[in-house]
Structure 1
Amino acid sequence: MPSLPVSLKHIRRMTDDTGIAEHALGIIPRRKEGYSTDDQARALWACLAWLDVAEGDEKEELHRLIDTYLSFMLWVQREDGHFHNNIAFDRTPEDETPSDDCLGRCIWASALTLTTLQDEDRKLAAKQMLEKALPLAEEMAFPRGRAYALAAVSLLLRSGCPFDFDLREAAERWADRLIGSYRTHARPETGWHWYEPALTYSNGVLPWGLLSAYEATGRPELLDVAEQSLRFLIRLSADEEGRIRPVGNRGWCTPGHRAMWDQQPIDVMKLMLAVSKAYEITRDKDYADVAKRCRNWFHGDNDAGMPIADVKEGAACDGLEENGLNRNKGAEATIAYLLTESLYHSLVGTT
């Protein structure tokens, strides 16, 4: 009998001996679209999140997938520490410039690997990648990459993991930079409590980064700004009845405009990530309620009134559009669903 409350069927289908494919047509992998390192880091995160719950064959399967994603990341990390993000199906790198987001995701996934796995031989790969990548986080220009790196050093700091890098100093400094972004762009007099002039994608990662830093440093300012921005994000991510409605990708959200359509599973997962961490820290049941509504969004409590998740396959549709579901079930959406279910599973055990 399966030990996991989710199916690994689709993530297994999407993964070959190179890595997880980026896109799908329906549930069929689109090999000509190749791979993204972003998705390997996300998939690694999802597998690590379920590892403690799995038993027997499912645990072995998760370890096999973990090995595949770690191997991919180790392969694409350049000598300067950056990770090449876009790889064609024939394993050739595509032209690109280094991405802060990709770097941050890989730093987070490597830190999570180092603090989650018990196997020292697997942890070697994560530690080597971190040693090369962490110094680059100092030069990050964009807040989402910073938030991932901040969460990573905060996790390493709290875990007591020995590391030849000043984790506390980095956590303090990178948190100050996120606070600086907030102070620059927030306009309390108009009700705009955000780190940028617009709400765009993966918004929940920003307060989550500060909440993670608060756990590691105990600085009250970090919790205060994280909660201000998170409450603002919650207000703009729900309809009048409280049903989750993430900011649409078709135009984003500014003080004068809010897009409704092209709602993305990744945005709901990132909100779930932030409110779950906020509940873990504060035990404010309002955060737990939002987390449950995020999970319900995947199961039909959304603007379409239709399930985003295919529970039997362990997959999720790529988005919610004006005319209904985008039924393609690519890596990003599927992993967002698996991570949301993992966060919900942990939440249920604490409420």
Structure 2
Amino acid sequence: MTATVGRSRTTSSRRWATAPAPSFAHLARLSDDTGLFEHARHAIVRREHGYCTDDVARGLVVLCREPEPTAELLRLAERYLAFLTHAQDAAGAFHNRLGHDRRWTDEPGLGDWWGRALWGLGTAVARSPAAWVREEGLVAFSRGATRRSPAPHAMAFAGLGAAEVLRRHPGHVAAAALLADAASAVGAPDTDARWPWPQQRLTYANAALAEVVIVASQLRHGGPPLDEGLRMLAWLRDVQLRDGRLSVVPAAGWRRGAVRFHHDQQPIEVAALADACATAATVSGDPAWDDGVRQAIGWFLGDNDLGTPMWDPGTGGGYDGLTAHGPNLNQGAESTLALIATLQHARRWS
């Protein structure tokens, strides 16, 4: 049986119709000739916090998703790619944190940043219009794809990059193996319909775990059943709806059986859900999944628990979180990239 999504429509599922085109103005403001700064106070860059591979990789994903990038965006993608290749060591691991003094402050590792780096590289391989970017991305991806992380989230991000590589290179053995291992790392859904999630706690970027199971179902050999990923995602989406609008799991997470709080919602949760629902619609052929994308867009435009926009039209930046008292008005890289990634999905109906 294939999981399906409810088709009820509310204001929160209609605001997408007025969604603006994604703006890269604030992303450019946060970037310099080295990479992408992590933090901002309101819209002003906080250089003292430096750069991180996590955000640069997410930046490469959204830039390479643009169907007709401008020359400025191509140059920005080149800069982010150069950052990632500089962050990678000979064994395929990645540094994550670079100070403003251009010195790494950590050792190469296989945390979330490794997975996101492979996601960014894989997206460049699949979608960049520049041949040399695709080629260099493939070299770096192939080196990193030989490694495995013990963390399910890191594996999920890496698996999404592997799925991108397989779009352009369906015979890429290392990518296929990584995608299969990523789905295995996430695990199969629980049989309890009240909590079918493979883990006992929802944390961050939760929908990415369901998404990698969905895309892994398309592997020729060793992929999980499609229904497993769809069941996970259907439950996750439904449990994050409140009075018909999106109300995502907050930064503190939510453990099975515990009280769930609704403050400190993070844009990364919304973007992950938009990505996963768009993937589910494409893979399953069921347009009902598009409702999840619309609700994610609506969350940024004001269809959330406080009825407030979660972005600044003047700067193009995304706000860092939805607190109990309103938006956190800082416009850091993660939240801005989540905004861009979500608004990119509005093109599905243009």
**Same fold? TM cut 0.5:** yes
For 2:188, the equivalent position in structure 1 comes to 182
For 2:179, the equivalent position in structure 1 comes to 171
Distance change >3 Å, CA 31–CA 234, structure 1 → 2: same
2:313 is aligned with 1:304: no
Read off the aligned partner of 1:202 and give its amino acid letter. Answer: A
> Within 2, Cα distance between the matches of 1:18 and 1:97?
18
Contact 1:236 1:247 in 2 (8 A): no
Shift of 1:277: 0.7
For 2:7, the equivalent position in structure 1 comes to none
2:229 is aligned with 1:226: yes
For 1:157, the equivalent position in structure 2 comes to 166
Secondary structure of the structure 1 residue equivalent to 2:55: helix
1:24-173 pair list within 5 angstroms = 24-50=40-66, 52-54=67-69, 59-95=70-106, 98-137=109-148, 140-160=149-169, 163=172, 165-173=173-181
Shift of 1:283: 3.1
Sequence identity, in percent?
Answer: 30
Contact 1:22 1:39 in 2 (8 A): yes
Shift of 1:211: 1.4
Secondary structure of the structure 1 residue equivalent to 2:202: coil
Contact 2:145 2:174 in 1 (8 A): no
Shift of 1:118: 3.5
Secondary structure of the structure 2 residue equivalent to 1:204: helix
Contact 1:247 1:253 in 2 (8 A): no
1:188-267 pair list within 5 angstroms = 188=192, 191-217=194-220, 221-239=224-242, 241-267=243-269
Contact 1:205 1:270 in 2 (8 A): yes
Contact 2:265 2:321 in 1 (8 A): yes
Shift of 1:198: 0.3
Secondary structure of the structure 2 residue equivalent to 1:301: coil
Read off the aligned partner of 2:29 and give its amino acid letter. Answer: R
Shift of 1:115: 1.5
> Within 2, Cα distance between the matches of 1:10 and 1:289?
28
> Within 1, Cα distance between the matches of 2:150 and 2:46?
32
Shift of 1:220: 8.0
Shift of 1:125: 2.2
> Within 1, Cα distance between the matches of 2:221 and 2:233?
18
Contact 1:35 1:88 in 2 (8 A): yes
> Within 1, Cα distance between the matches of 2:21 and 2:155?
33
Secondary structure of the structure 1 residue equivalent to 2:241: coil
Greater mean alpha carbon deviation, residues 290-299 or residues 302-311? 302-311
Contact 1:308 1:325 in 2 (8 A): yes
Shift of 1:301: 0.6
Structure 1: unaligned runs, 5 residues or longer? none
Shift of 1:95: 3.2
Shift of 1:161: 5.4
Runs of 4+ in 1 over 4 A off after TM superposition: 218-221
> Within 2, Cα distance between the matches of 1:75 and 1:67?
12
Distance change >3 Å, CA 170–CA 248, structure 1 → 2: closer
* 1:215-269 residue CA offsets vs partner (Å, 9 max, x unmatched): 3438784311101111111122110x22000101135343322121110001000
Structure 2: unaligned runs, 5 residues or longer? 1-19
* 1:193-229 residue CA offsets vs partner (Å, 9 max, x unmatched): 1121100100010011011112343878431110111
Secondary structure of the structure 2 residue equivalent to 1:303: coil
Shift of 1:303: 1.1
Read off the aligned partner of 2:50 and give its amino acid letter. Answer: G
Contact 1:33 1:89 in 2 (8 A): yes
Contact 2:91 2:143 in 1 (8 A): yes
> Within 1, Cα distance between the matches of 2:182 and 2:295?
31
CA RMSD of aligned residues (A): 2.0
Shift of 1:113: 0.6
